[in-house]
Amino acid sequence: MNRKYIQLMFLVAIFLLSGCKKNFPSDLDAFSLDMNFTQTEFKPILGQTTQFQDIFNAGESTLPLSFRISAVRTFEGKEAPELLKLFPVSIWKQPYTGTEKSLAEIQAKRDTVMRPLWEIAQHSGNLTMHGTSNSTVLKSYPDSGYYFDVEVSSNGGRRFFKNMLLTPLKEQPYAPFVERGILRPTITMNLLGDSTRTLVQPQIWFYKKGEGSSLSFKFLGPDLQPIKLSRFNNTNWDKLVHGFNKTFDKDSTSVRYDVAYPIPLVPTLATEWTSGGRASTSFTFTRIAFGGIREFSGVRFDFNIYEKGDWEIIFFFPDEAPLFDND
């Protein structure tokens, strides 16, 4: 009798243990108390795609974590739905390489999707201000901007990082941008004036002529007299910019390219068209100097253009044109 009773109790215990096992919680992911954002104030320039990367320290947490922006509000504490509203933004669905041979090939690699203008990557915590952003939609400096919270979560826990600050800056359609003063080339090489034979340096102007998608270059001497581009006899016009359908004016005073914007398309990618995150253009020429020496001269300009349009970059020599003729 006792033996049967003991066997029965043993079977009941096994049954109960197997039933309870189903109710045991699964292993939870590690959720570190040491996690933190290394940057909590952000000042992106509107109209430019700006990424803030590697700004979250997960500590000893199990990855991946999930990130979400919440409680978006103005500096005064009012709701700010414009930061959560979806807008059309351009993304790359295939990598841009800088070797594309046509605008159609570039456009085939891009797509337009609906995203918030201020967006957090779901599993990295990287923050992005998309290039579609502008000061007609978002508050910009000198306004105090926005506060927002970030929720970080996993099945191991949940935490809110509060009162992070976003202060957008007004658009700059191109760079370098000089609000007051004179914009100069990145480099000039042996540019002599045709009258004084002293070094000269041009001013640079950006001019938006229309709403298309092109880029032109022009040189002007004193009294705004055009300088023929044929004078720049050592320039590789096919490698000047990543553009297509190169067209010279009949009088050779301007050259135009069909381009995709922004320029450069991917500033973080080094290509034959870029230098240090900017498009890099070089206009060079040679002449025979005294003693039969061949001199190389030219001007290089590194720049960005963020706003799509029919843009023209003008190099203006206010005092005297460069010396192109042989001695």
What does the pLDDT look like over 157-182, one tens digit per residue?
999 999 999 999 999 999 999 878 89
The last residue of a domain, from among 139, 166, 193: 166
Shared domain check, 103 and 79:
yes
State the pLDDT at residue 199: 96
Residue 41 and residue 87 in one domain: yes
State whether 120 and 43 are in the same domain.
Answer: yes
Q: What is the per-residue pLDDT for 12?
A: 47
Q: Considering the domain boundaries, does residue 262 fall inside one?
A: yes
Domain endpoint, select from 166, 198, 225? 166
Please give the pLDDT value at position 149. Answer: 98
- β-bridge mates for residue 159, sequence order: 152
Domain boundary among 166, 190, 224: 166
**Domain match, 66 and 104 both:** yes
* pLDDT score, position 2: 53
Question: Nearest-5° angle of CA 216, CA 217, CA 221?
Answer: 145
Domain membership of residue 29 (yes or no) is: no
Helix (H, G, I), strand (E, B) or coil at 197: coil
The domain of 256 spans 174-316
Residue 23 lies in a domain: no
Which pTM does this prediction carry? 0.88
Please state the domain count of the chain: 2
Residues 184 and 140 in one domain: no
Low-confidence ranges of the chain (pLDDT < 70): 1-26
Residues 188 and 287 in one domain: yes
Pair (68, 116) in one structural domain? yes
Res 179: pLDDT: 79
Whether residues 186 and 295 share a domain: the answer is yes
Q: Is 188 found in the same domain as 62?
A: no
Backbone angle region of 276, left / alpha / beta, with phi > 0 → left and psi within -120 to 50 → alpha:
left
**15-27 pLDDT, tens per residue?**
444 544 444 455 7
Same domain, 190 and 257: yes
Same domain membership, residue 307 and residue 178? yes
Task: Tell me the CA end-to-end span of the chain in Å, nearest whole number.
Answer: 125
Cβ–Cβ under 8 Å, residues 193 and 200: yes
